């Protein structure tokens, strides 16, 4: 073991006492002032409760049943101020307009509403399906349809509406009607639609952009956000499932890139997506023997299965160079581009400039994209990390708490790779010069540390994993340090005016 591996043992206790998130707060601190963004985490269930509370309050104010108020508020897209204003003005008009009137327009009053049953001898003839049925549902307007048709109708309408009305007139179905017809609590889907509407209407709320996550974040000092963004600070929030995202962009955390860099970069990538399609490919051929190689791990250190040639996935150069001159594949080869352009001497100067800028863009896009793909691969590996923890526990016989280093390392890796990825977007918008050289040296250091930890995760033998615990801890520690350095270097780049938009 090297000296370096002992370094960490002293404060290893603190690793267990701090939660993962707390650690990362510190790392991103210089650009992310967490005390500036004050926010609350909400789950959809909590939001549902909030909306229900709103209904209960209003139901007391208006002296109307809860169900009725739910439908009212849904019709008003949860703008309770406007609803109260209109209702105080002319309650009959509101009721009539929303199909909640208890007085039928033509004066008829239908008593026997709700679920209806019929017999084989005298079945119900349904207008919608034109079939004879034994069960139907009747609203207070007197319109009646078979239960099957009503269910299909609800399923179709629930996709697009907050309020569902009688297929034949403007009478609104209450949550009670909907639950009876659907046989489940179908009205909760409507309420979920309402939550969507509510969150989208209120600027202080945002959905977590992470796929399949339904968590909501509410910012308490939303008026400060604009100022934060103007001063290149990133309003990062964390959802109740631990996903960090930028509240301003509604996009994954793009630390260290400021919001305006992020927006321009995303737009640029969208505009140029056709040009760079070829880059997104997951397969490349071994530079030595031409065997097709598929990348299935997050690490960029590739070994050809056939000829055992070791090379870097990014630049396809031999891996030997990467230990000493690891930044080779990080730095845009300006001289190279110059050489290429000389061959196009007869072309116009402007053509050359375009080509040069495209090459420059492709260089950074390539790096950005490789880490985007690697992130996905890291993520799928992190998804199974809990399993690995269990296997390590059982296989090696260590305690659960002792095996947690894997979970922490996985989280560190994901965060650091994201920071690395976005740092390429920053680099693209930087002027060439000494400052960018410094920036890219720090960046290369981070890239190196990312790959080192990523490589450890390729180990599948649980005994080896347990033995390498110190390597995991040291690699994580190094990665956190370098991530912090990257954030600081970005801040420096912004402060000294190297960043151009």
Task: Write out the catalytic residue numbers.
Answer: 299
The token pair at 48 is 């549902």
Query: In the complex with other proteins, which residue's Cβ is closer, 173 or 425?
Result: 173
Dist. CA 488–CA 393, nearest whole Å: 38
Number of CB atoms found within 10 A of residue 351's CB: 12
Query: In the complex with Zn ion, which residue's Cβ is closer, 32 or 246?
Result: 246
By CB under 8 A, residue 127 contacts other proteins: yes
For residues 265-296, one letter each, b for 16 or more C-beta atoms within 10 angstroms of the residue's C-beta and e for the rest, the string is beebeeeeeeeeeeeeeeeeebbeeeeebebe
Considering CB distances under 5 to 8 angstroms, the limit depending on partner class, which of other proteins, Zn ion, none binds residue 122? none
Considering CB distances under 5 to 8 angstroms, the limit depending on partner class, which of Zn ion, other proteins, none binds residue 85? none
Dist. CA 415–CA 394, nearest whole Å: 28
Considering CB distances under 5 to 8 angstroms, the limit depending on partner class, which of other proteins, Zn ion, none binds residue 307? none
Binding mask 138-167 for Zn ion (x = CB under 5 A): ---x-x--x--x----------------x-
Residues with Cβ within 8 Å of 385's Cβ and at least 6 positions away in sequence, in order, are 406, 407, 410
The token pair at 369 is 């994209």
Nearest to 258 by CA among 446, 22, 30: 30
Dist. CA 106–CA 141, nearest whole Å: 10
Query: In the complex with other proteins, which residue's Cβ is closer, 164 or 410?
Result: 164
Considering CB distances under 5 to 8 angstroms, the limit depending on partner class, which of Zn ion, other proteins, none binds residue 127? other proteins
By CB under 8 A, residue 128 contacts other proteins: yes
Number of CB atoms found within 10 A of residue 83's CB: 20
Number of CB atoms found within 10 A of residue 474's CB: 21
Could you say which residues in the range 25-44 bind Zn ion, by CB under 5 A? none
Binding mask 121-140 for Zn ion (x = CB under 5 A): -----x-xx-----------
Binding mask 129-158 for other proteins (x = CB under 8 A): xxx-------------x---x--xx--x--
The token pair at 448 is 């190196």
Q: Which stretch binds other proteins (CB under 8 A): 160-168, 190-198, 304-312, 459-467?
A: 160-168
Instruction: Identify the burial level of 179 via C-beta atoms within 10 angstroms of its C-beta, where 0-12 means exposed, 13-18 middle and 19 or more buried.
Output: middle
- Count of residues that interact with other proteins, criterion CB under 8 A: 14
Q: Which stretch binds other proteins (CB under 8 A): 45-53, 165-173, 180-188, 448-456?
A: 165-173
Residues with Cβ within 8 Å of 459's Cβ and at least 6 positions away in sequence, in order, are 465, 468
Query: In the complex with other proteins, which residue's Cβ is closer, 128 or 396?
Result: 128
Considering CB distances under 5 to 8 angstroms, the limit depending on partner class, which of Zn ion, other proteins, none binds residue 487? none
Considering CB distances under 5 to 8 angstroms, the limit depending on partner class, which of other proteins, Zn ion, none binds residue 153? other proteins
Query: In the complex with Zn ion, which residue's Cβ is closer, 143 or 468?
Result: 143
Nearest to 208 by CA among 78, 372, 77, 44: 44
Instruction: Find out whether 150 and 137 touch, Cβ atoms under 8 Å.
Output: yes
Could you say which residues in the range 189-228 bind Zn ion, by CB under 5 A? 208, 210, 213, 215
Query: In the complex with other proteins, which residue's Cβ is closer, 4 or 131?
Result: 131
Considering CB distances under 5 to 8 angstroms, the limit depending on partner class, which of Zn ion, other proteins, none binds residue 215? Zn ion
Query: In the complex with other proteins, which residue's Cβ is closer, 161 or 213?
Result: 161
Instruction: Find out whether 177 and 138 touch, Cβ atoms under 8 Å.
Output: no
Q: For residue 125, what are the β-bridge partners? A: 132
First-residue to last-residue Cα distance in the chain = 47
| Chain residues in the site for other proteins (CB under 8 A) | 127-131, 145, 149, 152-153, 156, 160, 165, 167-168
| Chain residues in the site for Zn ion (CB under 5 A) | 126, 128-129, 141, 143, 146, 149, 166, 168-169, 171, 208, 210, 213, 215, 239, 241, 243, 246, 248-249, 259
């Amino acid at each position: 073991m090297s000296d370096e591996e002992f370094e960490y043992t002293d404060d290893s206790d603190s690793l267990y006492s701090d939660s993962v998130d707390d650690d990362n707060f510190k790392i991103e601190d210089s650009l992310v002032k967490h005390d500036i963004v004050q926010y609350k985490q909400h789950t959809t269930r909590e939001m549902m409760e909030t909306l229900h509370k709103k209904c209960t309050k209003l139901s007391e104010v208006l002296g109307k049943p809860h169900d009725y108020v739910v439908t009212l508020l849904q019709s008003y897209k949860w703008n309770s101020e406007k609803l109260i204003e209109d209702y105080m003005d002319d309650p009959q008009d509101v009721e009539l307009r929303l199909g909640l009137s208890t007085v039928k327009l033509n004066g008829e009053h239908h008593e026997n509403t709700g679920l209806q049953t019929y017999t084989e001898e005298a079945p119900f003839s349904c207008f919608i399906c034109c079939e004879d049925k034994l069960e139907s549902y009747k609203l207070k307007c007197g319109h009646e349809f078979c239960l099957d048709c009503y269910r299909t109708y609800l399923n179709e309408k629930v996709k697009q509406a907050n309020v569902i009305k009688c297929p034949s007139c403007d009478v609104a179905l209450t949550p009670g009607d909907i639950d009876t017809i659907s046989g489940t609590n179908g009205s909760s889907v409507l309420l979920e639609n309402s939550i969507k509407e509510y969150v989208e209407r209120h600027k202080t709320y945002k959905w977590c952009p992470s796929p399949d996550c339904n968590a909501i974040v509410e910012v308490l000092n939303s008026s400060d956000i604009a100022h934060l963004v103007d001063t290149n600070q990133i309003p990062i929030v964390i959802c109740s499932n631990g996903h960090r995202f930028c509240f301003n962009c509604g996009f994954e955390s793009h630390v260290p890139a400021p919001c305006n860099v992020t927006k321009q970069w995303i737009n640029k990538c969208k505009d140029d997506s056709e040009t760079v399609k070829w880059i997104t490919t997951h397969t490349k051929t071994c530079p030595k023997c031409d065997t097709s190689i598929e990348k299935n791990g997050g690490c960029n250190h590739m070994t050809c299965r056939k000829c055992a040639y070791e090379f870097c996935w990014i630049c396809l150069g031999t891996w030997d160079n990467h230990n000493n001159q690891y930044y080779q594949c990080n730095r845009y080869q300006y001289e190279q581009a110059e050489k290429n352009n000389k061959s196009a001497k007869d072309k116009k100067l402007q053509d050359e400039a375009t080509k040069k800028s495209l090459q420059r863009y492709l260089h950074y896009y390539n790096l950005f994209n490789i880490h985007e793909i690697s992130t996905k691969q890291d993520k799928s590996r992190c998804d199974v990390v809990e399993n690995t923890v269990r296997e390590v526990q059982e296989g090696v016989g260590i305690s659960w708490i002792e095996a947690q280093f894997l979970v922490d390392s996985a989280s560190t890796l994901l965060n650091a790779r994201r920071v690395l990825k976005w740092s390429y977007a920053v680099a693209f918008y930087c002027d060439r010069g000494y400052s960018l050289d410094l920036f890219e040296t720090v960046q290369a250091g981070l890239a190196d540390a990312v790959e080192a930890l990523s490589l450890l995760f390729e180990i599948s033998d649980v005994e080896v994993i347990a033995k390498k615990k110190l390597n995991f801890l040291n690699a994580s520690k190094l990665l956190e340090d370098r991530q912090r350095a990257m954030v600081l270097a970005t801040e420096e780049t912004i402060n000294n005016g190297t960043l151009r938009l």
